[in-house]
């Protein structure tokens, strides 16, 4: 009499094979009765019985490689679009220009001496540069249009990779405020008496600047948006009267500039925190220009801001008054180019896909 001997593992394997054989027979009968199409048996056998399974094959090719872009790569990947008000258009040097920058420049006072052409020369933007900042622009003008032209924000598209922007001064009514400060009787407090109205207009900027940023974000989801703040117009501690502005007036105007910058900067920072929290591409970056002209304020020997200029022929204040000089715009260009290189101070979530 023959006797079969199994180890414990061999016996378990034999039992498993017997069970599979019985199951296969039952499955075959069931499939025959069900009249299922050819090929189904093999698939079910693979799933249920772990038999008849084809060899796993590698998919053709390899998956795309994901590379996170640096801040500079993001900025240069598409078009640079420059928007904003007179501090971006080049109002302070417009009447020194030999030729207009582009169509509509005469109405918007866009000048080659602005910081925008300097930034365009410092970096090579894959989609070129579009310059549409316009003197006198408010947040509403950016969204709705100005001088019969299409809105500035409409110049931004998914192909835009960098937007620079200065905005808020006209919403706050700074030109009117400054005029009220200058055109007053000596010793009058008419300048600082405007504070309540100015504060109210600056507070309203929170919602209007947010609307502008949202619109830019919708139009260019992956772009870096750099918002440039305004410089302090007078020395931190003025000691003499300038353009009929007493030291008290100058300190007050400085403080209003500080409040304006803080308001716009807070909105921009909050927007960028939201983008970072969702790991979204693009950024909103605020560059505080408040101290950028330190040592070169109005009243200094080499100012970066024009002081009061009056056209004696028609006794009107020239628009370049209290706008950057050529040196001032070069300083702005330095701030912007440095920010492009620096980035938002957090990881960018823009990526490039490359197929091996």
Write out the chain's pLDDT in tens, 356 residues.
Answer: 434 443 444 555 555 655 555 455 554 444 444 444 445 445 545 554 454 556 556 566 677 888 899 999 999 999 999 999 999 999 999 876 666 566 667 789 999 999 999 999 999 999 999 999 999 999 999 999 998 889 999 999 999 999 999 999 999 998 888 888 887 777 778 888 999 999 999 999 999 999 999 999 999 999 999 999 999 999 999 989 988 899 999 999 999 999 999 999 999 999 999 999 999 999 999 999 999 999 999 999 999 999 887 765 655 667 888 999 999 999 999 999 999 999 999 999 999 888 77
Q: Which CB contacts under 8 angstroms, 24+ apart, belong to 203-207?
A: 203/263, 204/171, 205/139, 205/168, 205/171, 205/172, 205/260, 205/263, 205/264, 205/267, 206/263, 206/266, 206/267
DSSP designation for 46? I
135 in Cβ contact with 164 (< 8 Å): no
Residue at 58 is within a domain: no
Distance CA 111, CA 88 (A): 9
**Structurally, how many domains does the chain consist of?**
2
- Reported pTM: 0.79
Distance CA 26, CA 321 (A): 96
Helices (H), the chain: 8-34, 40-44, 71-76, 86-89, 105-108, 115-122, 139-144, 174-182, 195-219, 247-277, 326-342
**Domain enclosing residue 270, as ranges:** 65-343+350-354
144 and 76 in a common domain: yes
189 and 165 in a common domain: yes
Residue at 199 is within a domain: yes
43 and 188 in a common domain: no
Residue at 96 is within a domain: yes
174 and 90 in a common domain: yes
84 and 233 in a common domain: yes
**Residue in this structure with the two tokens 């947010």, named with its chain if needed:** 210
219: three-class secondary structure by DSSP: helix
41 and 182 in a common domain: no
CA distances from 165 to 40, 207, 216, 336 (A): 64, 17, 11, 10
As annotated, the active-site residues are 86, 323
48: three-class secondary structure by DSSP: helix
pLDDT at 353: 83
pLDDT at 207: 96
pLDDT at 35: 46
β-bridge partners, 162: 80, 224
pLDDT at 7: 45
pLDDT at 259: 97
**Residue in this structure with the two tokens 């795309």, named with its chain if needed:** 64
Type and span of the H or E element at 227: strand 224-228
CA distances from 211 to 133, 150, 156, 205, 310 (A): 18, 17, 15, 10, 36
177 and 33 in a common domain: no
224 and 162 in a common domain: yes
102 and 38 in a common domain: no
pLDDT at 274: 96
């Amino acid at each position: 009499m023959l006797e079969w001997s199994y180890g414990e593992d061999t016996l378990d394997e034999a039992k498993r094979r017997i069970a599979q054989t019985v199951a296969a027979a039952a499955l075959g009968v069931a499939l025959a009765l069900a009249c299922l199409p050819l090929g189904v048996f093999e698939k079910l056998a693979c799933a249920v019985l772990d038999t008849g399974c084809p060899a796993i094959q590698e998919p053709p090719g390899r998956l795309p490689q994901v590379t996170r872009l640096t801040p500079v790569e993001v900025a240069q990947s598409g078009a640079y679009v420059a928007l904003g008000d007179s501090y971006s258009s080049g109002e302070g040097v417009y009447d020194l220009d030999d030729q207009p920058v582009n169509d509509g420049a005469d109405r918007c006072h866009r000048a080659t001496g602005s910081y925008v052409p300097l930034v365009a020369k410092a970096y090579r933007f894959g989609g070129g540069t579009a310059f549409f900042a316009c003197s006198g622009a408010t947040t509403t003008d950016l969204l709705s249009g100005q001088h019969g032209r299409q809105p500035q924000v409409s110049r931004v598209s998914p192909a835009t990779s960098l937007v620079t922007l200065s905005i808020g001064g006209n919403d706050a009514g700074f030109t009117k405020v400054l005029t009220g400060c200058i055109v007053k009787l000596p010793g009058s407090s008419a300048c600082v008496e405007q504070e309540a109205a100015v504060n109210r207009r600056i507070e309203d900027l929170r919602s209007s600047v947010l609307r502008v940023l949202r619109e830019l974000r919708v139009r260019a989801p992956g772009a870096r948006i750099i918002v440039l703040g305004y410089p302090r117009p007078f020395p931190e501690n003025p000691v003499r009267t300038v353009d009929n502005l007493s030291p008290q007036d100058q300190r007050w105007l400085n403080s209003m500039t500080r409040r304006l910058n803080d308001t716009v900067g807070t909105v921009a920072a909050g927007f960028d925190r939201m983008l970072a929290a969702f790991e979204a591409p693009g950024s909103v970056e605020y560059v505080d220009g408040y101290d950028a002209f330190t040592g070169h304020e109005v009243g200094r020997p080499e100012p970066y801001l024009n002081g009061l200029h009056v056209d004696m022929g028609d006794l009107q204040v020239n628009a370049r008054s209290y706008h950057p000089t050529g040196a001032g715009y070069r300083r702005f260009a330095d701030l912007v180019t440095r920010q492009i290189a620096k980035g938002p101070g957090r990881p960018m979530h823009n990526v490039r896909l490359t197929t091996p």
